[in-house]
Amino acid sequence: MRIAAILIAAGSGTRFGAGMPKQFLTLAGKPVIRHAAEALATHVSLLQPVGEAAPIDAALAGVAGLLPTVAGGATRQDSVRAGLDALIPFAPDIVLVHDAARPVIPAGTIQALTAALRESPGAIPGAPVADTLKRAERGIVTETVPRAGLFRAQTPQAFRFDVLLGAHRSGLTGATDDASLLEAAGLTVAIVPGSDDNIKLTYPDDLIRLERIMTMPPTPRVGTGFDVHKFEAGRPLVLCGVRVPHDQGLAGHSDADVGIHALCDAIYGALAEGDIGRHFPPSEATWKDADSARFLVHAAGRIAARGGRLANADVTLICERPKITPHAPAMIARLAELLGVDAGRISVKATTTERLGFTGRGEGIAAQAVVSVLIPEQLSSENAGS
Ligand code: CTP
Ligand code: MG
């Protein structure tokens, strides 16, 4: 499925009133439009900017999937149309239309939109209206407007490409968003949850609110994991993703990598997302003899999905034999690779239990792990970490 995005940036930002169009202002160290582009780029293979080429190209240099900028039009609708026309040769299945003035695309928004397109030709994020609504004339309230069923329409808005192109070709004018063109044609537009963090930079105060959201320090979270597997003859011994020469391996449903299992549980624990058994039930035959590396890649993916990153992980293997220390550098390198982090964030060490207990008697290996992850607490955004 080919997904394209149109990033419209041809507006002049008259309400904001800066010396330049608001989408080129710096926010949390980057141009506003670049935040929007980076959030889209992780989900689409084609990114079509619309507006004045020179400032857009300067702001977006190096963003993945970037197509040559095309000029916009007098209205937002004209600008979207220019982007659609430029995408025709690529024949995308889905197109997302996004305002360059919206630097935050909350996490999960794009997945929800594309999922909704299976049922409907269009889908938009909508934030429910919390305040009581009034109509007023010359400073006097004339009416209270029932807010039930009212939503604030945000972007990105998602469409089946040919449907949106058809809607734009229908000759309707005056649309302030793209969904309204489908609505006018009697086509279904689904609503997925919008967010108050998805602010459209319009007035100077919005820049202050966005700066506050985007520079908020992440919250450190800690998780612990513990696991035990008993020795079994005739199986390979895999510890922290590394094959360790030994006269016996560990018994277990998967490859019984006790170190990775403890580490996964520590990560799921830090995220408060259950444990390894919840994500990979031992009752499922799929995980029999499975390489535990895939469990750890999944756990790392959960950190990423929450917009977070791993600060550090510390794994302790508990056994009398084999000797772990000679293999520790290889284990550290492998775990770092699977987690997609610097080796300096990972520690693997070992201890014996002075020949006491089941590990002391050589009946099996135990492992414990502690991790610290940094998760943006209030803003869960596609942008985080990029
Ligand atoms: N936009 C566009 N072409 C236009 C008008 C608007 O591409 N002719 C884009 C803007 O750049 C922005 C988005 O549409 O990313 C939403 O528009 P709006 O917030 O109204 O931005 P501006 O038109 O720039 O602001 P203002 O209305 O205050 O002038
Ligand atoms: Mg405008």
DSSP labels, 109-171: HHHHHHHHTTT-SEEEEEEEP-SPEEEEETTEEEEEEP-TT-EEE-S-EEEEHHHHHHHHHT-
pLDDT band (50, 70, 90) for residue 308:
confident
For residue 48, which ligand has an atom nearest its CA? 1
pLDDT at 289 (0 to 100): 72
379 pLDDT more than 60: no
What domains are defined for the chain? 3-214 (3.90.550.10), 219-379 (3.30.1330.50)
Mean pLDDT, the chain, rounded, equals 94
Atom of ligand 1 nearest to the CA of 50: 7
* Separation of alpha carbons 19 and 38, rounded Å: 24
Band of residue 377 on the pLDDT scale cut at 50, 70, 90:
low
- Closest residue by Cα to atom 25, ligand 1, is 13
Ligand 1 atom having least distance to the Cα of 33: 15
Ramachandran angles phi, psi of 141, nearest 5° = -70, 130
Contact 364, 250 (CB under 8 A): yes
Q: What is residue 334's predicted lDDT score, i.e. its pLDDT?
A: 98
| pLDDT band (50, 70, 90) for residue 384 | very low
Measured from CB, residues less than 6 Å from any atom of ligand 1 are 8-16, 21, 23, 50-51, 72-76, 79, 99-101, 200, 202
> Residue 329 above 60 pLDDT?
yes
Please give the number of the atom of ligand 1 that sits closest to the Cα of 21: 24
Q: pTM, whole model, 2 decimals?
A: 0.69
Cβ(107)–Cβ(378) below 8 Å: no
Residue with CA closest to ligand 1 atom 26: 13
* All residues at 6 or more sequence positions from 21 whose CB lies less than 8 Å from its CB, including other chains: 9, 11, 12, 13, 51, 55
Q: Is the pLDDT of residue 59 over 90?
A: yes
Check whether 386 has a pLDDT greater than 50.
no
Res. 380 pLDDT band, cuts 50 70 90: very low
C-beta of residue 60 within 8 angstroms of C-beta of residue 112: no
**Residue 96 pLDDT class (50, 70, 90 cuts):** very high
Q: Which atom of ligand 1 is least distant from the CA of 73?
A: 8
Give tens-digit pLDDT for 155-188.
999 999 999 999 999 989 999 999 999 999 999 9
Identify the pLDDT of residue 378.
Answer: 52
Ligand nearest the Cα atom of residue 9: 1
> Beta-carbon neighbour count of residue 360 at 10 Å?
14
Tokens of 19: 């010396």
- Closest listed ligand to the CA of 7: 1
CA distances from 69 to 60, 227, 360, 362 (A): 10, 54, 67, 66
Token pair, residue 276, equals: 């390894």
Q: 79: CA distance to ligand 2 center in Å?
A: 11
Report the atom number in ligand 1 closest to the C-alpha of 80: 7
Cα 207 from Cα 213, distance rounded (Å): 10
Q: What percent of the chain has pLDDT over 90?
A: 87
pLDDT for position 214? 87
Return the SS3 of 51: strand
Q: Which of 99, 180, 202 to mutate to test the pocket of ligand 1 (most atoms within 8 A of CB)?
A: 99
d(CA 204, CA 17): 8
Question: How far away, in angstroms, is 74 Cα from ligand 1 center?
Answer: 10
Pocket test for ligand 1, best of 12, 81, 176 (most atoms within 8 A of CB): 12
The C-alpha atoms of residue 263 and residue 224 are separated, in whole angstroms, by: 8
Average of per-residue pLDDT across 326-345: 96
- Gap from CA of 107 to ligand 1 centroid (Å): 24
For residue 385, pLDDT beyond 50: no
pLDDT in tens, 245-295: 999 999 998 899 999 999 999 999 999 999 999 999 888 877 777 899 999
Residue 4 pairs in a beta bridge with: 46, 95
**Ligand positioned closest to the Cα atom of 21:** 1
Beta-strand ranges (E) seen in 244-359 are: 249-250, 309-318, 346-351
Long-range interactions of 350-357: CB distance < 8 A, separation 24+: 350/316, 350/317, 350/318, 350/319, 350/323, 350/324, 350/325, 351/316, 351/317, 351/318, 352/318, 352/319, 352/320, 353/318, 353/320, 355/320
DSSP 8-state secondary structure symbol assigned to residue 337: H
Q: How confident is the model at residue 382 (pLDDT cuts 50, 70, 90)?
A: low
Give me the mean pLDDT over the 350-379 stretch.
Answer: 92
